[in-house]
Amino acid sequence: MAEAQPGRNAAPTKVSSYRPELQGLRAVAIMMVVTYHIWFGRVSGGVDVFLLISAFLLTGSFLRKMERGQDLAVTRYWLHAFKRLVPPAALVIAATIVAARYLLPPERWRDVISEAFASITYTQNWLLASKSVDYYAADHSTASPLQHFWSLSIQGQVFLLWPLLFLVAALLVKRFGFAPRRVLWAIFGGITLVSFVWSVYLTAADQTYAYFDTFTRLWEFSLGSVLALLLPGLERRFGFRNPKLPQANGARLPRVVLGWVGLILMLSCAWVLDVQGAFPGWVALWPLLAACLVIGVGPTRTPWAVDRLLSSKPLQWLGDISYSLYLVHWPLLIVALVQLETVRLSLLQGSALIAVSIVLAWAITRLVDSPIRYSAYLDARWWRSAIVIATGMSLVFGLGGWWQMRLDRQAERLASESVRNNPGARILLPGYDTPAFAENPGAPEASSAQAPTLPLLADIGNDWYGLKGNCKGRYAAPGKLDKNCRTAGKGQETLVIIGNSRIEQYAASLVPLARDKGWRVVTLFAPGCPYVPNSPLDYCAENNRLVQEYLADKNVAAVAMQYTEVFHGKPEQVLPGVEKLIQPLLDRGIDVIGIRDMPRLKKSPVECREESCAEDVSAQYLPELPTLPDLEKAPGSFYALDTNDLICPNYRCLGVIGNSFVWIDANHLTAYYAATMAPGVRQRLSEQGFEF
């Protein structure tokens, strides 16, 4: 609860370390986050303010202990902090898992489970970074209901790291006799500078990843720590919050003005600046420095000042439930968007969602958060707090693990019958003996006993193909190519498959054939990088140069690679200069399998299985299979592989063929469907004289 505010002429007897205006600032920040999420779909800067306040309070607490020579009690701090944070989070995560089972489409179930595990272990930000999630996506209905845990994950990581930094500082103070503030200035000042520079650089280079990277956010915390170190000196310099003179209120009017300036700047950031794609680089300075102004002016004991507004009972109450409000508002928003089949809530719908969120947040705070946080019984023994933390984490892992196990068992059972019930591309091959499929490839009723379509919708988003083994020994790749090099098999003959993520999915039709023949397979995939000379993208150019170096150095029997290219609005063309990469391989006696590019769709067909949803892609292709007339006769042979009739029969792309989902999205095959193309791939290569 907030402390009573003194009157204008009253002289308080002491200066408390408690700052009620910070609780009100939390309230303002959470409402910025909620309203911007619901109605505006923009980054508000509210989360950044939360991070700053957390570090400011944490630093103030540990600094006072250091200056008094007290034990830092780091382990006790960790237990106390996570005893408070984990139970409400676990409750919301568990409720989100249950809601996802009944209210979200099956193709999102697996992601919810994996993100639930990441959220409760405070690693969600790294999971989202690895998945290159677009936080700025206009359609929030496609987002994860647990996506907002990215900031809580970074905060949890800092709550583990910051006390360790104070321990290091305390050791330096004890060993060398340094002043505590000077050591802390060096530590947090250094972190602020290095992290800020890294944030600006990475945001410009890869904003999607930078948004969730812990290291691009550390400066936002360390700036709060720097403020905590700087503020006492400013308070003494300008004569306010003076422990020796409690009634001091120096520079009152300038501080009142600066307080309002700070609040206005904080609220206006997202509207004045185009922050789309710019966070968390230099743009994040705007809301953070604005918040520093609000915090820095301190209590002015002026009725019309910002601190009086922030110390008001409504904002204090909202600040008290801000953590729970942040937890609940996002899952409710995502479920509402899905159920209402919209990308943005109306004013009435959004207001209702805010009201429900506030009620739920109050209930969680009153019934879960506060009883646990203020329990003297739990604080009396360290292991009691540990049990609370373990119980919360066990709830999430138990519920998520149980659901995941059920999905795994269902997938295993269906996979055992998939050849009969889910033949995929096999139904399009000559001699297939199920007329119902042949007459209508997309017909679900042609499957045995109405078997579900594979891969299951719960698994389709994760049906990406890739070999697991790293390239080692004589198959090791040079330089940065090593991270993209994967291998399987132990044969003496080697097939190397090269290309982008589309070819990576297609590889599911090639790898089993090579393995059946006893060959080793090496894959060299780079997202967004066709294998061409002189790529305009530096990353792709470097990758392709290393691929050439790899192929020149290894004993390779065959190479599979894309040789034509399809783009929206452009006719099919042979990849520019691809002959310059193929001819040297043929000259060395290496066979080359040239893959005709797959169609690119206007939108993902996963959600529509009807014939009416089929997309005609005939305009994307040349009438005849392109050839490479400039290739000279050599010991190796070139084999053009066209299987687009197995992907889009008669140039009509269906979402489902042979009771199998064909596409993960608008540009990538499912690994399951690509694998069902293997017999057709073998047949077409055999007709040209290449035997798998």
For the chain, domain boundaries: 25-399, 457-687
Whole-number percent of the chain with pLDDT over 90: 61
SS3 label, residue 461 = coil
pLDDT of residue 5: 40
Q: What global pTM score does this model have?
A: 0.77
Query: What gap in Å lies between CA 133 and CA 146, rounded to an integer?
Result: 12
Q: Please report the pLDDT score of residue 87 as a whole number.
A: 97
- Predicted pLDDT of residue 402: 96
Predicted local confidence at residue 298, as pLDDT: 85
Query: Residue 445: its pLDDT value, please?
Result: 46
Q: What is the pLDDT of residues 453-493, one digit of tens each?
A: 889 888 888 899 989 889 988 889 888 888 889 999 888 89
Segment 273-298 shows an average pLDDT of 84
pLDDT at 11: 43
How far is residue 103's CA from residue 97's CA, in Å, rounded to a whole number?
10
pLDDT in the model for residue 12: 44
pLDDT at 385 over 70: yes
Of the candidates 55, 60, 2, 58, the one whose C-alpha atom is nearest the C-alpha of residue 27 is: 2
pLDDT band at 514 (very low <50, low <70, confident <90, very high): very high
Hey, which CATH number is domain 457-687, 3.40.50, 2.60.40, 3.30.70, 1.10.8? 3.40.50
* Per-residue confidence band for 451, with pLDDT thresholds at 50, 70 and 90: confident
| Mean pLDDT taken over the chain | 88
Q: Which residue has the higher pLDDT, 473 or 318?
A: 318
Q: What is the pLDDT of residues 436-448, one digit of tens each?
A: 554 555 554 444 4
| Three-state secondary-structure class, residue 529 | coil
pLDDT for the residue 9? 42
What is the model's pLDDT at position 311? 92
What is the per-residue pLDDT across 86-127, written as a single tens digit (0 to 9) for each?
A: 999 999 999 999 999 999 988 889 899 999 999 999 999 999
Residue pLDDT, tens place only, 208-265: 888 899 999 999 999 999 999 999 888 888 888 766 677 778 888 999 999 999 999 9
Backbone angles phi, psi at 535, to 5 degrees: -65, 140
* Rounded CA separation 343/140 (Å): 6
DSSP calls for 369-431: IHHHHT-HHHHHSHHHHHHHHHHHHHHHHHHHHHHHHHHHHHHHHHHHTHHHH--GGGGGSTT
Is the model's pLDDT at 432 over the cut of 90? no
pLDDT tens for 9-33 read 444 445 566 788 999 999 999 999 9
- State the burial class of residue 413 (Cβ atoms within 10 Å of its Cβ: 0-12, 13-18, 19+): exposed
